[in-house]
Amino acid sequence: MDVTTERHEGVLCARVIGRIEPRNAGEFQTAITGAVQNGDRAVILDFEELAYIGNVGLRALHITARVLRDRNARVAVCAPQGVVAAVFAGSGVDRLIAVYPTKAAALAAFRE
């Protein structure tokens, strides 16, 4: 798994590539929460190139979202594909975390 970040107008965009599995779920949480700075008002997790997320990864996502919300940052996921989109649909992730089809759509929602 690889995580890269960039900022757009106070929004932290974290691109996650690869797989979130039991062996690296903690690394995912640390990478995201560690990248958040005081001025970040929102975080977008770009899952376009995330190939897999299982139960442990979903738990890490929920914990990460809770930590970010405790820091008063809004959280969204964008562009889940294939297996990841199917896992999201089956698990109800979209009821807890906003999911957008593209990063542009997520950024637009945060500008409103």
Could you tell me the pTM of the whole model?
A: 0.93
Give the pLDDT band of residue 71 (cuts 50, 70, 90): confident
Range of the domain at 13: 2-111
Number of structural domains the chain divides into: 1
Q: What is the mean pLDDT of residues 22-43?
A: 90
pLDDT band at 72 (very low <50, low <70, confident <90, very high): confident
Average per-residue pLDDT in the chain? 92
Task: Report the percentage of the chain scoring pLDDT > 90.
Answer: 74
30: which residues sit within 8 A by CB, 6+ positions away? Answer: none
CA 111 to chain centre: 18
Give the domain CATH number at 55. Answer: 3.30.750.24
State mean pLDDT over 28-45.
Answer: 89
- Say if residues 49 and 16 touch (Cβ distance below 8 Å): yes
